[in-house]
Structure 1
């Protein structure tokens, strides 16, 4: 690690209004003690728990650190069944579609920012080139290709272990041979999370084994070809040719989907807390520092539950006549400071200001309610002597939302 560059950038975090100097120091000290895997795809909420930091402050620090090039921020779309990372992109714009397909689970995954989009941070290669070989072994492959935030049930893990047939890496430009004995009237899948594609190997119900021709499978960045093959029970031989620029992990498994879907429903996986796409959109540091990134003009993303807060300052016009222009202007600005502080304190973001009113968003209704209470208390304390007759009206709404890029319209 370039320790000098690292320390310089950590020190510069305290220049952001979102990062306290003490928190930035603790943040930098914790990072210095992490190994390469610890600096790869960091979950800010888990990091905060492990290092006794406030989770909201930790998220702000990672966002600020990304802004100055200390970390790379990534939006990961996660399959809710297997935890596979179906897409990893630095920009939300590349998630601009309604569904992704998981080739392993053979299901369509809706892009919902509340649940299936995780935000992670990896140390920038300009600061530290990690010595991680994602294709070294099966453990490295799993850590790189699946989210650590989803934990399948023991029942599911046992079932998947029983379905496993083969796994191997295939280097660029090379062939890999796979051989196995196929049972009658079954479905096998040859799949790769790296290209998010699969070949269905449909075995007929013949009781007597018949000789199968060798099957040649072409792997490209667009996926596998062919995508379905009809075969007989008995010996199956597959030659997989990788034309991708990097290695791919290829697995073969018995795809007993009715049984696996039943287990997933009856014994669902558990999720560790993580920074969701919705939480990032409702983070004031992200909205201010990244200006919502370079968004596609047709961007539309679904949010299952969003809490919106609206304010209206009562008496703001009359107060100019009551206390004079200078005093009235200062009161209005103090009022904005109270609102901004309350929104940030409760993990929200100001989406829009309209005259002396604001519109703010929160990931959870409770956060919006607590922010509203703080605002009312703050305004009451500001006008406690009764001379400055200002009042604050607040409205809250919770429900599904559609995130769009209004600037492109």
Structure 2
């Protein structure tokens, strides 16, 4: 029996059958490169699988040891991977700098951190498990560029058009290159260390051979640009690292820009943190207690069950408890159906997160309809839900051994729920003004009604919209 035959049955029991079948086919039939740093969103599109089902299947596969998860810090400009770790805890720098683009970035979980999946060696051995053995262009494809860069199948031929020289440089070795420099901007770049040297080639053609020496000894090092003349140059490259390097000399023209400009959606850390399956399965991949990672846009939904205290007094603890549990099931199902996650319950209230305002509003509609059905089933009319929604920046933190969120956006969302009447959905302008939210509200024929109010603990008056 093969490893695939032995290890896939447990995955079939916990994940969507179509998604599991697609993953199994990937493992059995796909080339090695397709199993290294898999883009879950591209995988879902290519295989006609629902994105959330694909993400959940890969998360379950990771939990079962079939795949390994990687958290990759990206450069938004070139799509290069600046750092990679097996856990969110590995993102611990105040700034990540891309030497290739000469730009530094403060890490945030919206677009700068992607999550990918690589097949486990126990399931299938692939070349990507030993990056030091990858040919240079496969190394660039599989290790340097992120899964969000839509690289062409013929990458090698495309890159060779802009390549003046490329070589493998073993540890401790030195290489001498003789080149003819064109009158263009040239980059010497090593995708292993990200070390970069910019060369501005201009002026009169050189009559004598020019010389330039580079020593590779520090990861992510970027040197000041140098000016050289078109014509012959002698490059001296020394590898002082203990790993093989892959220095290349590229012409930085529109062909290189076109190559890195090809983008596709990818699974962001923010989206994964708002995924209920991830929160349920991978609690150990949450933040360290002293980590504070920024999210530039997160949507928070707070609920409260009106009259729950009177409910316990009126029908007794046991019956009331069963009703409250049924209400929590309705809310959890509504959140998961719209790609959100329940962060925590507070008494009879729920705090949930969503990647976008539109998903939060859609979940609120589901909650309200679910509560109507629950009231009908229970032959009662006294289970009413108050809902508040707000969107904005926040910090992802760990509180009480649980991944949580901190900031004024969270406070405002909770206060918005506090001003909602029974059965009401209240939201702020940042939620209502979101283009996708506006389309959803228009589609269902709902016009939010604005009201000015002062929220407790918030100094400025705010406009709150009630969604009937």
Give the TM-score of the pair, scaled to structure 1: 0.84
- Structure 2 unaligned segments of length 5 or more: list them: 153-157, 407-468
Shift of the 381–294 alpha-carbon distance from structure 1 to 2, 3 Å rule, reads: closer
3-state SS, counterpart of residue 241 of structure 1: strand
From 373, 379, 383, give the equivalent of 2:365: 373
- Structure 1 unaligned segments of length 5 or more: list them: 154-158
- Listed as ranges, the matches of 1:55-134 within 5 Å are 55-132=51-128
Q: CA deviation at 1:255?
A: 5.2
The residue that corresponds to 1:252 in the other structure is: 249
Shift of the 32–212 alpha-carbon distance from structure 1 to 2, 3 Å rule, reads: closer
From 300, 303, 308, give the equivalent of 2:295: 303
Q: CA deviation at 1:341?
A: 1.1
Q: CA deviation at 1:3?
A: 2.4
User: Does 1:404 find its partner at 2:397?
Assistant: yes
Distance 1:209 1:356 in 2: 81
**Residues 77-116 of structure 1, C-alpha deviations (whole Å, 9 max, x = no match):** 2222322222222122222334322222222244332223
Distance 2:116 2:88 in 1: 13
The residue that corresponds to 1:198 in the other structure is: 196
**Contact 1:104 1:192 (8 Å CA) reproduced:** no
Q: In angstroms, what is the RMSD of aligned CA positions?
A: 3.4
Distance 2:250 2:394 in 1: 39
Distance 1:193 1:23 in 2: 33
Distance 1:50 1:163 in 2: 30
Q: CA deviation at 1:39?
A: 1.5
Q: CA deviation at 1:350?
A: 1.0
**Residues 270-323 of structure 1, C-alpha deviations (whole Å, 9 max, x = no match):** 531221111111111111211152533332222222111101011111112222
**Contact 1:307 1:396 (8 Å CA) reproduced:** yes
- Listed as ranges, the matches of 1:6-17 within 5 Å are 6-14=4-12, 16=14
User: Does 1:173 find its partner at 2:175?
Assistant: no
The residue that corresponds to 1:395 in the other structure is: 388
Distance 1:163 1:128 in 2: 35
3-state SS, counterpart of residue 405 of structure 1: strand
User: Does 1:235 find its partner at 2:227?
Assistant: no
Distance 1:378 1:76 in 2: 38
**Residues 208-242 of structure 1, C-alpha deviations (whole Å, 9 max, x = no match):** 535544x4422235355976666566432122222
Shift of the 192–316 alpha-carbon distance from structure 1 to 2, 3 Å rule, reads: same
Distance 2:340 2:222 in 1: 46
Paired residue total = 395
Distance 1:312 1:57 in 2: 29
3-state SS, counterpart of residue 169 of structure 1: coil
The residue that corresponds to 2:310 in the other structure is: 318
Shift of the 253–365 alpha-carbon distance from structure 1 to 2, 3 Å rule, reads: same
**Contact 2:199 2:227 (8 Å CA) reproduced:** yes
Distance 2:62 2:104 in 1: 31
**Contact 2:136 2:168 (8 Å CA) reproduced:** no
Shift of the 199–131 alpha-carbon distance from structure 1 to 2, 3 Å rule, reads: closer
The residue that corresponds to 2:429 in the other structure is: none
3-state SS, counterpart of residue 248 of structure 1: coil
3-state SS, counterpart of residue 124 of structure 2: coil
The residue that corresponds to 1:156 in the other structure is: none
Distance 2:167 2:324 in 1: 65
**Residues 333-380 of structure 1, C-alpha deviations (whole Å, 9 max, x = no match):** 111111111111111111121111111111111111111111111111
**Contact 1:219 1:225 (8 Å CA) reproduced:** no
Distance 1:296 1:203 in 2: 47
Distance 2:162 2:34 in 1: 31
The residue that corresponds to 1:334 in the other structure is: 326
From 21, 33, 38, give the equivalent of 1:37: 33
**Contact 1:198 1:227 (8 Å CA) reproduced:** no
**Residues 234-279 of structure 1, C-alpha deviations (whole Å, 9 max, x = no match):** 43212222233432221223557xx899x78xx9935312211111
Give the TM-score of the pair, scaled to structure 2: 0.74
3-state SS, counterpart of residue 383 of structure 1: helix
**Contact 1:306 1:364 (8 Å CA) reproduced:** yes
Q: CA deviation at 1:38?
A: 2.1
Distance 1:172 1:93 in 2: 30
User: Does 1:142 find its partner at 2:135?
Assistant: no
More deviation in 335-344 or 318-327? Answer: 318-327
More deviation in 366-375 or 247-256? Answer: 247-256
The residue that corresponds to 2:350 in the other structure is: 358
Distance 2:372 2:270 in 1: 32
